Chains A and B, each alone.
Chain A
Amino acid sequence: MDWQALLLSVKLSSVTVLILIPFAIFVSRFLAYRQFRGKSWVEALIMVPLVLPPTVIGYYLLVGLGSQSWLGQTLESLFGHQLVFNFSGLVIASILVNIPFAIQPIQRSFEAVPEDVCDAAACCGMSRLKVLFKIELPMVWPGVLTALVLCFSHVLGEFGVVLMMGGNIAGETKTIAISIYDSVQAFDFASAGQMSLVLLIFAVTVLAFTTSLSRRMGAGHASRRR
């Protein structure tokens, strides 16, 4: 059991979610409420990571953020260290890969918010920010929660991107998925089995928890409507 790799994966998932979800809330709200030219192109672009193999994204990040590219060099001089083969590089990769998983569910929730509720709130003189926090966010919580869980678990299981641009460095970029792969290659099936079981139990628990939570939320909404 590689605890260091597990902790690293949990840390990567947490950081990714903390950065990605607030960003996704604003982008999703914008996409749900506004119509503009080229909107379908923007939405298509957001969905691209869903269909691209992670190795493709990993390849582009390796080449695009590596020390041979101008972008990589610029970022390196800005941050003081290079991004690929580094934890911060993995965070960037995880954010990119998970954009569709974060935006999709939240955007659907925002689209389901009845317009007249927000209008009524605005008529009562509530500021936009207050409408967002008091009216909209409580209504889109199930979507946010789904996005949060999806992204968190998805980062935990991410493999291709990390393999391509991580470098398999213990404590820095060796995530749990890579560690499982390593143990299998070293014929260490006992430890691969243990780690896989931990991930499996985690996945089932989290999914069960969110399903029940969002069901209770739905029930809450229904009773209020009555």
Chain B
Amino acid sequence: MIRLKRGLGLALASIILVFGLSVMQAKAADVPAIAAASNIKFALDELSSAFTQDTGLKVRLSYGSSGNFVAQIKHGAPFQMFLSADERYIEQLAKSGGTLDDGVLYAVGRLAIAAPKNSPLQLDPELKGLKRLIDSGELKRFAIANPDHAPYGERARFLLKGFGLWESITPALIYGENVSQAAQFAVSGSTQGGIIALSLAIAPQFQKLGRYKALPESLHEPIYQRMVLLNSAGSTAKAFYQYLQTDKARQVFSDFGFGLPPGVAKGE
């Protein structure tokens, strides 16, 4: 019994120790929390380290689905800036009064069709390969983001309808909670492919797993990606906001397959 008690005491003591240690950890210096749609992860990771290198300032990036972030921000999430996958979310937020202004466009999203390396799916901008695979009955699973709340999913549905494939492909569709999850499904090997964001397909991490082809942006409404400063924004968040509008930043966005906001000349 005594040995048992000693063991329990030891377990409790170690719990208290870990707790104490983590409390003692200094609170992170004032580094603004920034919410960003997960489809810009790779571009924004690069931009935030460039920002830190250039200015010495740091930001904390949280990636997730835009819709979820809007709900969290409305209920008081401590983000100082929000980069949405779709400008409609920013309009919603601005109306409820949580933002400094209407924000600014930072990029225009594009779609790509992607497939895992072993997939029989032929990739082309007119989706002829996809049609062939559907007709031959070989298409078992095809991933897109949830068209009911994810902008990339909605545009994918529009595009598939435009090519007359929607009815025939519906039984094979699986939905990602957001476009990043759809992308992960699309190259998981358990699907034959998917329609995802070009910005994810271009990332080197993606290309180890699959191949892709950009889809024509003229065939669907553009995906305007807008960012906004929230009421609590401090000087670092404001500096990052400005930084993302410089030519240097626009070049990075364009390297990751984004179009530039209308009216912005390509700064080569």
- The residues of A with any CB-CB pair to B shorter than 8 Å are 7-8, 10-11, 14-15, 17-18, 62-63, 66-68, 72, 82, 84-86, 138, 141, 145, 163-165, 167-172, 174, 182, 184-188, 213, 216-217, 220
Contact = CB atoms under 8 A, between A and B. Distances in A.
B21 to A, nearest CB: 8
Contacts of A216: 4
Contact of A68 (B23, B76, B79): B76
Contacts of A165: 72
A38 B72 CA distance: 37
A66 B180 CA distance: 27
Contact of B63 (A62, A66, A72, A168): A168
Interface stretch (B133-141, B201-209, B233-241): B201-209
A186 B4 contact: no
A14 B15 contact: yes
A188 B208 CA distance: 11
20 contacts: A7-B18, A10-B18, A14-B15, A15-B19, A18-B15, A63-B75, A67-B75, A85-B72, A85-B78, A86-B78, A167-B72, A169-B60, A170-B60, A174-B62, A185-B184, A186-B42, A186-B63, A187-B183, A187-B208, A213-B4
B22 A7 contact: yes
B19 A186 contact: no
Given A167-B79, A184-B184, A14 B18 contact: yes
Interface residues of B, number: 39
B213 interface: no
Given A169-B60, A185-B184, A62 B75 contact: yes
Given A66-B75, A85-B78, A171-B28, A182 B63 contact: yes
Contacts of A171: 28, 60
A31 to B, nearest CB: 23
Contacts of A86: 78
A187 B203 contact: yes
Contacts of B119: none
Contacts of A63: 75
B63 A14 contact: no
Contacts of A168: 62-64
A167 B77 contact: yes
Given A62-B75, A68-B74, A187-B205, A17 B62 contact: no
Contact of A167 (B19, B78, B181, B187): B78
Interface in B104-133: none
Contacts of B72: 62, 84-85, 165, 167
B16 A72 contact: no
Interface string B211-239: 00000000000000000000000000000
In the A-B complex, list the 10 residue pairs whose CB atoms are closest, starting with the nearest.
Answer: A66-B75, A67-B76, A168-B62, A11-B22, A187-B205, A185-B180, A14-B19, A85-B77, A14-B15, A167-B77
B62 A167 contact: yes
B33 A169 contact: yes
